[in-house]
Amino acid sequence: MTRYDLRIAGFVLAAVVAIGLLLGYGVGWLTRPDPLRGGIAPVGPAEFETTVANGARTLDGGRLPDYDNIYVNDYAGLLQPSAEKRIRDDLIGLYRNTGIEMTVLTIDRTSDYGHRGSIESFATRLFNTWGIGNALRNDGVLILVARDDREMRIELGRGYGRERDADMKRVIDTVFLPAFRLNDYQDGIEAGVAATIFEVAGAYPDEFGAGTLHRGWSRIRRWLTLAGEWAYALVAVPLGAAFFAIRGYLRRRPRPCRQCRSLMIRAGETADDEHLDGGQRLEEFLKSVDYDVWHCPNCAGMEITRHPAWFSRHSGCPRCGYKTMTTKSTVLEPATTSSTGRKRVDYNCRNCDYANSETRTIPMISESSSSGSSGSSFGGGSSSGGGASGSW
């Protein structure tokens, strides 16, 4: 690249960075947490105050499910372990940053517990029996999904005003239910929990403690995700086309000869092979590197420019230097939660026949903790029946 090309590339890069910063800071400032929406009042580590007896009975003679975990109890088996961990981590973050206790419960049907009434009465009784939320603020939230009943409920603590019922109804209708109608319970619950956290705390799970720029781009990515894949295409296609157009221009733009400063001419793909050595031709064959050969019509000068591929299975060989080396990994001993493993990495160069092997250690698999606090019960909160329900 010439100095002029570098200046153009630098200008384009600076413009993209400036636009990204302005867009991120602008959106981040406009979406800063609203104290009236729940606020973000950091608290210390969770210390739950009251242990509530489980297995109580409903007014119609039925019983209530126990909880094994204060954050997620997936008794209907709707969540993969990785998704359950992500939701649990979000709810732990919510408590640590705001003091709000939110829990997710999935069941097959309320009748499995002998309940013959509505999901609203079941959720209210369950909420009060478990004691979800702080006993003084009564700010707990229960998300209940009864898959086979095709009903769900977001039950709010009595500390929330009735005006929040409409917010919960909107989350159910626009986030939970569209996914549930497609039997996509896992994505629906993940997205719905994040939306519910935003409604009660004023921030999404990944925005707690985040700076303005991070919050702005996080919100932009979330908007694009909610809008659907077509929204990503509307943004990515023109940006990608512009990037590759500029990249192609900078690569193919006539450049001055280093000796006489006349404009050079780029040779075609077939003609430039005559000026490449065996290793370079092999790199082009493997599509790991592409070369351009430039000729000066005035002084017969020649210049070869190298353009490595961004995505290639081949890497640089330590012996010959060409990007013609393959790498293959073979697991010798798999890692477990109690011991490390071993794998063999084989290197082979297709240009100079370089070959080597080394043994590497595979890190031990870590077991993630499912507890976000030292307690194992809720804080003694109660509900007066506020919230919203939905069916699909």
Q: Tens digits of per-residue pLDDT, 87-144?
A: 999 999 899 888 899 999 999 999 999 888 899 999 999 999 999 999 898 999 999 9
**pLDDT band at residue 36, thresholds of 50, 70 and 90?**
very low
Contacts of 105 (CB under 8 A, 6+ apart): 65, 67, 73, 75, 126, 142, 143, 144, 145
Indicate if the pLDDT at residue 43 is higher than 60: no
* Residue 378: predicted pLDDT: 86
pLDDT value at residue 372? 42
Average pLDDT over the chain reads 82
Cα separations in angstroms, 142 against 101, 128, 196, 240: 9, 10, 10, 43
Can you give the residue ranges of every domain in the chain? 1-33+203-253, 38-201, 256-312, 313-363
Position 230 scores a pLDDT of 60
Q: What is the pLDDT of residues 55-87, one digit of tens each?
A: 455 445 568 999 988 999 999 999 999 999 999
pLDDT bin (cut points 50, 70, 90) of residue 184 is very high
Question: With 80 as the cut, is the pLDDT of residue 227 above it?
Answer: no
**Residue 54 in this model has a pLDDT that exceeds 70:** no
| 6 confidence band (pLDDT: 50, 70, 90) | low
Residue 72: which of 80, 60, 61 has the closest Cα? 80
Stronger pLDDT, 377 or 137, i.e. the higher one? 137
Answer whether residue 199 shows pLDDT above 70.
yes
Given this model, what pLDDT does residue 29 score? 57
Which of 224-233, 238-247, 311-320, 364-373 is least confident?
364-373
pLDDT value of position 389: 95
CATH of the domain spanning 313-363, picked from 2.60.40, 3.40.50, 2.40.360, 2.20.25:
2.20.25
Q: Greater confidence, 127 or 3? A: 127
The confidence score (pLDDT) of residue 323 equals: 96
Tell me what the mean pLDDT of segment 18-33 comes to: 63
- Assigned architecture for domain 38-201: Roll (3.10)
38-201 and 313-363 have identical folds: no
